[in-house]
Amino acid sequence: MTHHRDDRTVVVSAPGKVLLAGGYIVLDRKHSGLVFGLSARIHVLAQKIPTSAGVHLSEIVVQSPQFLNANWRYGYRLAPDGGGIKVTQLQSGTPVDANHFIETTINYVLSYIAEVDQRRATHGFEASSLIVLADNDYYSTPQESSSPSSSDSHTSAARFRHFGTTLRDAHKTGLGSSAAIVTSLTAALLAHYLPRDLFDLSTPQGKRILHNLAQVAHCSAQGKIGSGFDVASAVYGSCLYRRFSPALLSRLPAPGEPGFGPALAALVADETEGAKGRPAWDCEIDKDKVGARLPPGVAIRMCDVDCGTATVSMVKKVHEWRDANPAAADEVYAGVQSKVDELAAVLRDRNVAGITPVMRGVRELMRGLGKSSGVPIEPESQEEMLDALEKVEGVLGSVVPGAGGYDAAAVVMRDDEETEARVKAFLDEWSLRKGIRVRLMDVKGDTEGARMEDVGEFRSWIQGDGSQAKAEDKKGR
């Protein structure tokens, strides 16, 4: 097997998201949503698997060391007739749950790479190891488990907690783990296997490739139900987002089918045509309308409510109501859209006094949409809590973000220790009084999207002696 000089050791991270305003309406291309990236990131480390001389491995191993039984091994082969690279999960020993998001992403990304880098068609892919490390706020921490991840010899162990459960039993906090993992895994594979002239995350072209490919993989894994705002913010960070036409993906053959590889590469490169002969990717990702930073002294924080919400059925019910009541729906959707635009404007213009009235307006309209459609977008329990929370000194506004429901709540508040202490005290008291568990997470709104990380910070996760990482680390800067 030929050694590819490009099989670099890399770490890429992508942020979680919070859709502050525009839930439901952003599913319709006529409208847009205001999404912020979060400081909680999912990191993926990609490295070669060291093998002894003469030993040839042909697999990709993915590990998520913060969870039990979270190791997946994949084999891959070239499918005939341009079907791309077909990936299959290999099982040995204890059966492992399939990880649909990871398997689909590897399938799409290897197929893309084989298409754009012709050397791969002849030499194939060397074995690689991918390690997924999620910032702790993605999951509620079980009270009984506070043990650090893996062995204490890992310097980054405290930073990436072991959750003491399988992924299936983990309690997500709703920060968009699937979009962040699909995005960081896509970028890590691209950066590991491709030379820099074909993929460089620091360039606009690199970000476009990452965005288009991650959207396609995420949509496929998710069953094409989302607007894609979460992948857009995982790549670009905070933005005003208008979705792409759903028809864009409809002509792509399924992985393994004849013509899949070339069709995927053309779609990612945006060489296919959409409506009226325009490029197929018609999404709009506007960072200028949101501003490069939050107003000084203002933070977006998240409260973990530790309950789940069934987003898919909520979307279905809202759409049923909209289809049955088009005139009323148009009016509510237009109202929400004007609040989306106003909120983006007050944040961009650093108009701190303007935040409270606009956010109240967002809540009122979303509550109305929920009541009309019979969907608990801002359920009474959340309404009561947010009303009380907004009375805490330093809180500027709050909202049940995204699809709403019983998941996390977002709070826009003064970014100082006194306000944080007051909010924490309020949530402690509220939890006690209501017999629930609500807590302020460490995560904050952050405008940056996917980025290459310093490999040196992840040295303890590198297999072998880490010397390759040291060399790459120097090269990368």
Ligand X SMILES: C[C@@](O)(CCOP(=O)(O)O)CC(=O)O
Q: Which residues of the chain form contacts with ligand ATP (CB under 6 A)? A: 64, 99-102, 132, 134, 167, 172, 174-179, 181, 230
Taking the C-alpha atoms of residue 309 and residue 376, their distance in angstroms, rounded to an integer, is: 10
Taking the C-alpha atoms of residue 8 and residue 469, their distance in angstroms, rounded to an integer, is: 8
Residue the block writes with tokens 């000194």 = 393
Query: Is residue 229 near ligand X by the rule CB under 6 A?
Result: yes
Query: Is residue 303 near ligand X by the rule CB under 6 A?
Result: no
Contacts for 194 with CB less than 8 Å, ≥ 6 apart: 6, 113, 116, 117
Tokens standing for residue 74: 């994949």
Picked from ligand X, ligand ATP, none, the partner binding residue 159 (CB below 5 to 8 A depending on kind) is none
Tokens standing for residue 321: 């109501």
Task: By CB under 6 A, name the one of 15, 82, 84, 226 that touches ligand X.
Answer: 226
Query: Is residue 19 near ligand X by the rule CB under 6 A?
Result: yes
Q: Reduced to 3 states, what is the DSSP secondary structure of residue 322?
A: helix
Query: Is residue 24 near ligand X by the rule CB under 6 A?
Result: yes
Q: Which is nearer to ligand X, 261 or 335 (CB)?
A: 335
Alpha helices in 117-157 (DSSP H): 118-123
Q: Which is nearer to ligand X, 12 or 232 (CB)?
A: 232
Query: Is residue 23 near ligand X by the rule CB under 6 A?
Result: yes
Q: What is 194-247 written as a DSSP string?
A: S-TTT--TTSHHHHHHHHHHHHHHHHHHHTS-S-SHHHHHHHH-SEEEEPPPGG
- The one segment of 189-197, 226-234, 262-270, 343-351 that binds ligand X by CB under 6 A: 226-234
Picked from ligand X, ligand ATP, none, the partner binding residue 315 (CB below 5 to 8 A depending on kind) is ligand X
Least distance in Å: CB of 175 to ligand X?
8
Q: Which is nearer to ligand X, 25 or 127 (CB)?
A: 25
Least distance in Å: CB of 190 to ligand X?
24
Contacts for 429 with CB less than 8 Å, ≥ 6 apart: none
Least distance in Å: CB of 315 to ligand X?
5
Q: Which is nearer to ligand ATP, 79 or 132 (CB)?
A: 132
Least distance in Å: CB of 99 to ligand ATP?
5
Per-residue x/- track, 412-451, ligand X (CB under 6 A): ----------------------------------------
Contacts for 202 with CB less than 8 Å, ≥ 6 apart: 452
Q: Which is nearer to ligand X, 252 or 399 (CB)?
A: 399
Taking the C-alpha atoms of residue 144 and residue 161, their distance in angstroms, rounded to an integer, is: 13
Taking the C-alpha atoms of residue 102 and residue 104, their distance in angstroms, rounded to an integer, is: 6
Beta bridge partners of 452: 12
Query: Is residue 44 near ligand X by the rule CB under 6 A?
Result: no
Tokens standing for residue 377: 């977008």
Query: Is residue 466 near ligand X by the rule CB under 6 A?
Result: no
Picked from ligand ATP, ligand X, none, the partner binding residue 379 (CB below 5 to 8 A depending on kind) is none
Are 178 and 101 in contact, with CB atoms under 8 Å apart? yes
Query: Is residue 27 near ligand X by the rule CB under 6 A?
Result: yes
Q: Which is nearer to ligand X, 23 or 476 (CB)?
A: 23
In 3D space, the residue among 131, 140, 139 whose CA is nearest the CA of residue 188 turns out to be 131
Q: Which is nearer to ligand X, 47 or 177 (CB)?
A: 177
- Strand 395-399 vs strand 128-134: parallel, antiparallel, or unpaired? unpaired
CA dihedral 470→473→475→477, nearest 10 degrees, is -150
Q: Which is nearer to ligand ATP, 231 or 386 (CB)?
A: 231
Q: Which is nearer to ligand ATP, 314 or 427 (CB)?
A: 314
Kindly list the residues in this chain that would bind ligand X in the complex (CB under 6 A).
19, 23-24, 26-27, 226-227, 229, 311, 315, 401-403
